Amino acid sequence: MTLVDPSTAPAAATDAAATRLAASVDRSIRLISTGRQSGGTCSPDLVAGPWDFDRGPAAYGPGASMGDVIPAGAPRQGALPEAYRRATDAELHERIRAAKQALGDRVVVLGHFYQRDEVIQHADFTGDSFQLANAALTRPDAEAIVFCGVHFMAETADILSRPDQAVILPNLAAGCSMADMADESSVEECWEQLADVYGDLDAVDADGRVPVIPVTYMNSSAALKGFVGRHGGIVCTSSNARTVLEQAFERGQRVLFFPDQHLGRNTAKAMGVPLERMPMWNPRKPLGGSTADDLADAKVILWHGFCSVHKRFTVDQIANARQTHPDVQVIVHPECPMEVVDAADAAGSTDFIVKAIAAAPAGSTFAIGTEINLVQRLAAEHPEHEIFCLDPVVCPCSTMYRIHPGYLAWVLEELVAGNVVNRITVGDEVAGHARVALERMLAAKPPASQPAATGA
């Protein structure tokens, strides 16, 4: 999906952009906070600028992940210059447009589906994490790739881009709480404990299978992508997770799946793996909290990780949607808990959701279980449908919401001045192993009847 810069767009495109901004989550939060719109938010702090939280204790910030524990040493964002903090919305948008015009083909701006509309309107490409990393490859003249998303996405873009291209994350504090739930040292410790249970992890059985294959979701650090690359594993996306597991089972007796327990459980359950053969691995407990017998019988070992956005959706919300809208189609992301996926009509990646709504006959009603910025944008872009979020509380992704037009204006104007700030780099050794795991992911294509592999 490509978005046109509103400053040079024809009237129809400009009107469409205005419609999206009128329905933006940022605007909804401001209206709710002042009583001019009904509804509620998960935190009154959402009305504040994200720079207010850069100066305080390390935290993900207000939103869905605000209750999650941020790891020690997580990236922090330095103070944003006062000129950007004090600028009006109109001033920031004008500065962004002017900087992009001055930079021309030297820069490409990528915007994840979950970004606020005030940022998306300036994106050259909008999509999921892997779509965007690949979209950057279509701009070979770009000296800088500005990734409006979160840290692991910028890392993936750096792995796939040329060494001379700078990948920039506008706000270094835009991490991912799910990705942070599986760090390299914890996974290495898990791997060592599994070796104590299974023996030599490189030894093959009579069928040529090793004891365990590591599989990491795209929503993980470059270090963990490198880990699976070193150990014969593979990266998966929410669209090709089943294909990846099928291939992993051909080469291994079982799979270690991290960091998202829900995607692993939902995918394996749909493949017929019994729940009792999917023990949870809690990195804070010996053997992950399981017994050696549990692990010996395991088919999929699930890491104790989750997405706080998708954990908010419940079966009761689905029941309420069906009661008030008898013809509703409920579509949720596979990062949702198993009970929610089971109660929905369909589950799929962000790209799956976008395409399902675009292909539906006019007059359809959808209740969507994914991040609110995407849901409200889809509702604005498809007035022929009735589209609403399953969760009635406005609660955006904490870390995606750390990207603000002020930060985007800052990094772009620094580029105009010849300065590269907030560059994300992955070391050569890690990048090499991670690239191997990503290439295996690309080779794991779902059947033609399923959507093409995309990220979260």
pLDDT above 70: residue 456: no
Mean predicted confidence (pLDDT) in 30-45: 94
* Banded pLDDT at 198 (limits 50, 70, 90): very high
Residue % of the chain over a pLDDT of 70? 93
Residue % of the chain over a pLDDT of 90? 85
Mean predicted confidence (pLDDT) in 240-269: 97
Between residues 87 and 239, the one the model is more confident about: 87
**pLDDT at res. 368:** 98
Output the average pLDDT for the chain. 92
* Banded pLDDT at 4 (limits 50, 70, 90): very low
Instruction: Determine phi and psi for 156, rounding to 5 degrees.
Output: -60, -40
pLDDT above 80: residue 401: yes
Question: Going by DSSP bridges, is the β-strand pair 365-369/386-389 parallel, antiparallel, or unpaired?
Answer: parallel
**pLDDT at res. 16:** 56
Tell me the longest C-alpha to C-alpha distance in the chain. Answer: 68
Mean predicted confidence (pLDDT) in 282-302: 97
Which one, of 242, 214, 237, lies nearest residue 226 by Cα?
214
pLDDT above 50: residue 219: yes
Q: How far apart are CA 256 and CA 215, in angstroms?
A: 6
Mean predicted confidence (pLDDT) in 431-435: 96
**pLDDT, tens digit, 9 for 90 and up, residues 98-156:** 999 999 999 999 999 999 999 999 999 999 888 898 898 899 889 999 999 999 999 99
Local structure of 17: helix, strand or coil: helix
Mean predicted confidence (pLDDT) in 339-356: 96
pTM: 0.92
Report which residue type is found at 415.
L
Mean predicted confidence (pLDDT) in 229-241: 93
Mean predicted confidence (pLDDT) in 85-101: 97
**pLDDT at res. 133:** 84
**pLDDT at res. 137:** 87
* Banded pLDDT at 58 (limits 50, 70, 90): confident
Q: Are 302 and 269 in contact (CB under 8 A)?
A: no
Mean predicted confidence (pLDDT) in 204-224: 97
**pLDDT at res. 430:** 96
pLDDT above 70: residue 307: yes
* Banded pLDDT at 11 (limits 50, 70, 90): very low
Q: Are 61 and 401 in contact (CB under 8 A)?
A: yes
**pLDDT at res. 403:** 97
Mean predicted confidence (pLDDT) in 308-314: 98
**Residue 28, token pair as written in the block:** 């909804």
Q: How far apart are CA 148 and CA 373, in angstroms?
A: 14
Q: How far apart are CA 367 and CA 429, in angstroms?
A: 44
Mean predicted confidence (pLDDT) in 189-209: 97
Q: How far apart are CA 333 and CA 132, in angstroms?
A: 19
Q: Are 36 and 393 in contact (CB under 8 A)?
A: no
For the chain, counts of helices (H) and of strands (E): 20, 15
- Contacts for 128 with CB less than 8 Å, ≥ 6 apart: 112, 113, 349, 350, 351, 454, 455, 456
Q: How far apart are CA 29 and CA 105, in angstroms?
A: 35
Q: How far apart are CA 360 and CA 267, in angstroms?
A: 25
**pLDDT, tens digit, 9 for 90 and up, residues 312-323:** 999 999 999 999
pLDDT above 90: residue 449: no
pLDDT above 60: residue 308: yes
**pLDDT, tens digit, 9 for 90 and up, residues 145-174:** 999 999 999 999 999 999 999 999 999 999
